[in-house]
Structure 1
């Protein structure tokens, strides 16, 4: 069974092997498969200037195969791909930012866990866990930069993406900046699409979620 682990500066020492696997997979996928020329192969690993201590990783772990998927979340008050490299992608509406706004980047699923002609349940586990984690942490809005075809795809998952600017051409791709709200309704719709009934989120070595702490305080 796939579990999705939250990895932050607070518990990164518990996930050294998994983080290394994740960087190797990013190299295989983004440099090997997609041929993104702006990225650097660092001895079989892909890492960039946004893999800083404040970044949060969600890593899908298969008990037999190790890391098989994941994504990276960046705080909006730090430099991000959208703010530091492609600000023109948010030139119309501007970039949402604040303590409850983060940026979504580097979503991937290993070849071994992709499913032909259907949505990957591994990818679904990562995305559902992302919404679950962000809801627990009180994040209300996410922004992202991605290929434009992502927008109709995530609409089909129950998200409500809002373009932040006009599409831009980059190295043969059409990129778009967009934002979306983090809601319980979207999480439930997405779980229905992927057929995921239970949480697969793991917070090993981390404090209890923000929402749980608030409930305890209120009691």
Structure 2
């Protein structure tokens, strides 16, 4: 099964070799494939002002190859929603330590869809929920295309629209706030048939994290009689 690694400023040095491929994949996917030409850069890397040292990345690795990723930015800092798309949130900017903004979610084309194990897209969505509850988040803000909403519903995510959809480059786009909680993560693990947590915290052993709900004990172990 692919591994999903948490990458932040504390352990970024362990993943430096992945960042050039990561930014090039973003350029391939968002500029070349999806035609978001405003993101085009002559060096073939898609990097924006939110790729700071405070951004957290989830890298999905399979035998050392980067096959998917997502970015999370604390909303107490500038975000896509606060700086680029404030009109999508009729309630005003979200600026809370318990909410991170998710963006740049992708899986390489040859690994999309059903394969031998859980879908890579589903693994990423499960992993970011695990990350959130591990560090005490209560939600994720996201600017997304409307077609993501049925996908979120299928995987058990509770997405609350923050405003009306807007047409942008021929796409319907809106802002949502997604609940981050134990129930959603547990539901995703059960749907995917996961038997262990999905995240690898390499080099982050000292990062303070709350204990995850113990949902992986087999029934016999969970109800072992006292002796």
1:64-102: per-residue Cα shift (whole Å, max 9, x none)?
Answer: 5x10001000110111111100011001x3343311111
- SS in structure 2 of the partner of residue 41 of structure 1: coil
Using the TM superposition, give the Cα deviation of residue 209 of structure 1 relative to its aligned residue in structure 2, in angstroms.
Answer: 4.0
CA contact (8 A) 2:77 2:95 kept: no
- SS in structure 1 of the partner of residue 101 of structure 2: strand
Other-structure match for 2:87: 88
- CA root-mean-square deviation: 1.8
CA contact (8 A) 1:55 1:72 kept: yes
Unaligned stretches of 5+ residues in structure 2: 212-227
Other-structure match for 1:68: 67
* TM value normalised by structure 2: 0.86
Bigger Cα Rg: 2
List aligned pairs for 1:1-219, cutoff 5 A: 1-63=1-63, 66-91=65-90, 93-115=91-113, 121-206=119-204, 207-212=206-211
Other-structure match for 2:218: none
CA contact (8 A) 2:167 2:173 kept: yes
User: How far apart in 1 are the matches of 2:104 and 2:142?
Assistant: 10
Using the TM superposition, give the Cα deviation of residue 138 of structure 1 relative to its aligned residue in structure 2, in angstroms.
Answer: 0.4
- SS in structure 2 of the partner of residue 106 of structure 1: strand
User: How far apart in 2 are the matches of 1:125 and 1:178?
Assistant: 21
- SS in structure 2 of the partner of residue 15 of structure 1: helix
Shift >6 Å, 4+ stretches: none
- SS in structure 2 of the partner of residue 211 of structure 1: coil
User: How far apart in 2 are the matches of 1:137 and 1:76?
Assistant: 14
- With over 3 angstroms needed to count, the CA separation of the structure-2 counterparts of 1:130 and 1:42, relative to structure 1, is farther
- With over 3 angstroms needed to count, the CA separation of the structure-2 counterparts of 1:104 and 1:198, relative to structure 1, is same
- With over 3 angstroms needed to count, the CA separation of the structure-2 counterparts of 1:116 and 1:202, relative to structure 1, is closer
User: How far apart in 2 are the matches of 1:42 and 1:108?
Assistant: 21
Using the TM superposition, give the Cα deviation of residue 166 of structure 1 relative to its aligned residue in structure 2, in angstroms.
Answer: 0.7
Unaligned stretches of 5+ residues in structure 1: 213-219
Using the TM superposition, give the Cα deviation of residue 42 of structure 1 relative to its aligned residue in structure 2, in angstroms.
Answer: 4.6
1:138-197: per-residue Cα shift (whole Å, max 9, x none)?
Answer: 011111100011122201111111000011111111110000110111112222333333
* TM value normalised by structure 1: 0.89
CA contact (8 A) 2:81 2:88 kept: yes
1:121-143: per-residue Cα shift (whole Å, max 9, x none)?
Answer: 11111111111111110011111
CA contact (8 A) 2:60 2:124 kept: yes
CA contact (8 A) 1:125 1:196 kept: no
